[in-house]
Structure 1
Amino acid sequence: MSARDWFLLIALSTVWGGSFFFFEVALQSLPPFTVVLGRVSLAAAALLLIAWARGASLPFSAAIARRYLVLGAISNALPFSFIVWGQTQIPSGLASIINAMTPIWAVLVGLMIRSDEGLTPGRALGVLLGFAGVAILMGPDLLRQLDPYSLGQLSVLGATICYGFAVHYGRRFGDTPPLVNAAYMLTAATVWLVPVAAIAEQPWTLSPGLSGWSALLALSLLCTAFAYLLYFRILASAGATNMSLVTFIAPVSAITLGTVFLGERLGPTAFTGMGVLFAGLAIIDGRLTRWINGGLKRSRR
């Protein structure tokens, strides 16, 4: 990757890692579904406005609506809700580490639907290490008791399962411009969340205050609308393999922000589990294996 690609990748990782921090801030004055609804609705409005300003074609039909309702549910409405509720029980840094399980589930879902990516010995080892890392992270708490803290971890893990399905379902939209995809997907997520938030929390009765509104704006405009634009730009210039590096970098910014501004402290078990999980991700990514093989070939010369 070029220096510019690296800069954009680190910027995106910082922004997406920051979403866990802003979730935590927003939750101090707003309930979970309202936070998620604010994020997706404001981001959808921003992206639709950008698409309209650029003169992008915005086709609509019942078939298109059905497809995006599915994508919006598994890409945004469900996983965002799982993560936000989980963060009512666990620190934002821990949530960001568990969220790194997404590529592991993407591999498993790909096997289940028999995609063109097979399970090589290296990918199998990576999956096993991923689950070993999660076992180290969550196992001690789950073995003691199934309390709200443990349920919070399981909730965030549920979000990564949704993302694993979304990775493969999203491939059906490859012919649609990325900006339109993101705008329609977030609009569909808004459609799902409006009745849920209205029934469960009555958002119109809430007063989030300056901190709540600031967190919502940061989540929607910075961590969602801007992040998706950045994501598709990097994807076009650096490719999907390099794009996967976001998984490694995002938890760093989330943990840093949580430690500095929220006073969160993660124990050694969390960092041990993160190390094992990241080792599994590195093997699945293939970059580490290629680097080792390249070093071995050079040493034999």
Structure 2
Amino acid sequence: MREYDLFKELAIGVGVVGVLVLALAAIVGSPDDKTITLKTWATAAPADFIATATGELAGTTDTAGYGPPYTTTAGATQTLGPIDLQSMSGTRLPIDTAKDLVITPLTTLGAAADARATWAAASDTQRTDWATAYGEALAKAPKGDPAKVAAGDYGPVPELTATLQAEAVTGGVDGAIQQEGGVFNFDYTRTILFLGDGQYFPGLAAGMHLTGDQWGMMNETGNYPGQSWLWLFSFWYQLPVIGDLPNADLVVVGLMGLLTLALALVSVIPGLRDLPRLIPLHRLVWRSYYRQR
């Protein structure tokens, strides 16, 4: 028998492991990038923010035409023959981009009251014409600068979008959109969709190699290889024959479903179940056991 100081061993173990964790985190850990908010976007890229807000009013953004579960846009879903999983889910999170991302936040903040009244009094066709015309004018302006847009009939759209950008810089729009889901709302879907409709947020993702054609599904911010177990999902998107398809997501889901089923049934599928016998790698791994036998 001999004395054994368990507390001393525990203290040394925790201390050494703690120092190693902190050192490795500082050297090879993921950077603690700040969360991107509407305030960040409106401050860093005001022209892009205003152009995107205009698209939300015109109904021309990706979110506006996404289809279920956000909108009822016809022909927007991905299908694989008769299979239409997107429509089967239904429009569970309905989003009216003009109302939910522009008009309602301004109403909550009590801003641009006259412009909002003009917008509310106009017909749907008139609203679309105003927003579409302003969006086209912004695209033609130098660097998309709203101050350099040619004169035209844009209705209240310039004031609505400029005011929304000004309020976003203060951080008010983040809270106003979040408030639409209630006081204790932790669903950031609307904010994320709004960010994704612009060029600023996707540009940051591309710069960090997080987009689909950069294996983004399995990457973390500034870290490699990230969630490596997702490599098989990302792999299919890198094949042009699949990645370029308009229904690539549904095709990948189908492929992964088939592979998962094959894995679950590997013990009863002729040929697959015989691989361990035909390719006896297990005998190499447990060679000492088989040597004794």
Q: TM-score, normalised by structure 2?
A: 0.25
Rg bigger for which structure? 2
Q: TM-score, normalised by structure 1?
A: 0.24
Between Structure 1 and Structure 2, the one with more helix by share is 1
Structure with larger RCO (C-alpha < 8 A, sep 6+): 1
